[in-house]
């Protein structure tokens, strides 16, 4: 009887912890959403504010023209559309996040995947680790795909700011507009580069971090080296972000491509409706990292020459 009560109490505690984690994640997503909105608008080329003169290297470098940072951009949206303006598309964003979380949890439980891939030792590349990585990649791909329709709705609602198309002013209106103009396939526009970016990001992150472990020749478990673990993961995350970001940018552009929205103008003409051509065009024009940085955004279309933009 005592064991039964202890087990029940343990389950209750676990449920409470999970509920707290979900609540904290929800609050974090809501608080950070305005920056997501700003990043998406920058990705589709929407720059409502003029660039200003500044200096590179934290004010110590050469003069250059800078586009407004993320917070200035956010304040502008709030001044034109009110507080609700910086939360346009939030419902679709939260639904997408919930679907990803639930789908990932259910698949992980079905496949009995641990929440964290464990690097057991620097010298050992065991089959179990590779299996867990492959399963985690599969779960990520499925979860992202299942939730993608709401990502499309979210991006289209944010892209509304560019041309103010009334059809995309609300959640239900956006759903109707997508279905009426593109059918069901419209809800999966841009899904391929997004899934590829997510999968490559997860795989590259885990493999590169393991490479750091091997190169550093850490003995025993990585968790025993907390500082090296933290700095190593931070470095790897940064490198992976640079590598995969063009896929996420291409996905956003493919979502607005063919939408008959003003934001469609941000899609390179050479893309011809194909995500890979879009990435190549972005690299050719030097726009492959557009929207990645929300601060110190140098205006590449203006050069400082004797105080005159050219």
The 10s digit of each residue's pLDDT in 133-180 is 888 899 999 999 999 999 999 999 999 999 999 999 999 999 999 999
Instruction: Quote the distance between the C-alpha of residue 102 and its chain's center.
Output: 18
Highest mean pLDDT among 11-25, 42-56, 98-112, 242-256: 242-256
Residue 283 has what pLDDT? 93
pLDDT at residue 122, as a whole number: 45
Element at 52 (helix H, strand E): strand 52-55
CA-CA distance, 43 to 282, in Å (whole number)? 11
Return d(Cα 60, Cα 91) in angstroms, integer.
42
Tell me the average pLDDT across 248-259: 95
* Residue range 51-74: mean pLDDT, rounded: 81
Antiparallel, parallel or unpaired: β 304-305 and 308-309: antiparallel
Could you give the CA distance from residue 90 to residue 22 in angstroms, rounded to a whole number? 17
DSSP string of 58-109, one letter each residue: HHTS-EEEEE--HHHHHHHHHHHH-GGGGGTTHHHHHHHHHHHHHHHHHHHH
Structure confidence by residue, pLDDT tens digits, 164-223: 999 999 999 999 999 999 999 999 999 999 999 999 999 888 888 777 766 666 554 555
- So what's the pLDDT on residue 310? 44
Q: Which residue has the higher pLDDT, 18 or 236?
A: 236
* Per-residue pLDDT tens digits for 87-138: 999 999 999 999 999 999 888 888 776 655 555 554 455 667 777 788 889 9
Quickly list DSSP for 199-254.
HHHHHHHHHHHHHHHHHHT--S-GGG-HHHHHHHHHHHHHHHHHHHHHHHHHHHHH
* Token pair in block for residue 65: 């023209």
Residue tagged 């992150």 (tokens): 205
Which of 10-14, 23-27, 96-100, 221-225 is modeled with the greatest confidence? 96-100
pLDDT tens digits, one per residue of 226-240? 666 677 778 888 889
Q: What is the pLDDT of residues 281-290, one digit of tens each?
A: 999 988 999 9
Contact call for residues 175 and 153 (beta carbons, < 8 A): yes
Is 42 within 8 Å of 289 (Cβ atoms)?
no
> Which one-letter DSSP state was computed for residue 116?
S
């Amino acid at each position: 009887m005592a064991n039964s009560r202890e087990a029940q109490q343990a389950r209750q505690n676990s449920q409470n912890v999970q509920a707290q984690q979900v609540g904290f994640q929800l609050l974090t997503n809501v608080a950070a959403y305005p920056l997501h909105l700003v990043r998406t608008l920058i990705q589709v080329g929407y720059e409502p504010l003029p660039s200003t003169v500044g200096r590179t290297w934290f004010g110590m470098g050469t003069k250059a023209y800078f586009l407004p940072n993320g917070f200035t951009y956010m304040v502008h949206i709030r001044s034109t559309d009110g507080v609700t303006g910086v939360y346009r598309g939030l419902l679709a964003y939260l639904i997408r996040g919930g679907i990803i979380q639930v789908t990932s949890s259910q698949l992980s439980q079905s496949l009995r995947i641990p929440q964290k891939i464990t690097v057991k030792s620097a010298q050992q590349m065991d089959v179990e680790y590779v299996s867990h990585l492959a399963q985690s990649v599969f779960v990520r791909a499925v979860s992202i795909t299942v939730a993608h329709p709401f990502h499309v709705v979210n991006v289209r609602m944010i892209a509304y700011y560019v041309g103010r198309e009334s059809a995309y002013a609300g959640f239900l209106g956006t759903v109707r507009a997508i279905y009426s103009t593109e059918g069901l396939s419209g809800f999966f526009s841009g899904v391929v580069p997004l899934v590829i970016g997510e999968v490559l990001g997860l795989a590259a992150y885990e493999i590169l971090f393991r490479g750091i472990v091997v190169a550093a020749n850490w003995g025993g478990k990585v968790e025993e080296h907390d500082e090296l673990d933290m700095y190593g993961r931070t470095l790897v995350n940064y490198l992976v972000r640079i590598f995969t970001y063009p896929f996420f940018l291409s996905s956003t552009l493919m979502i607005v491509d063919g939408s008959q929205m003003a934001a469609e103008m941000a899609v390179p003409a050479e893309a011809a409706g194909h995500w890979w051509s879009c990435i190549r065009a972005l690299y050719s024009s030097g726009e492959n990292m557009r929207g990645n940085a929300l601060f110190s955004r140098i205006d590449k279309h203006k050069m400082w020459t004797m105080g005159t933009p050219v």
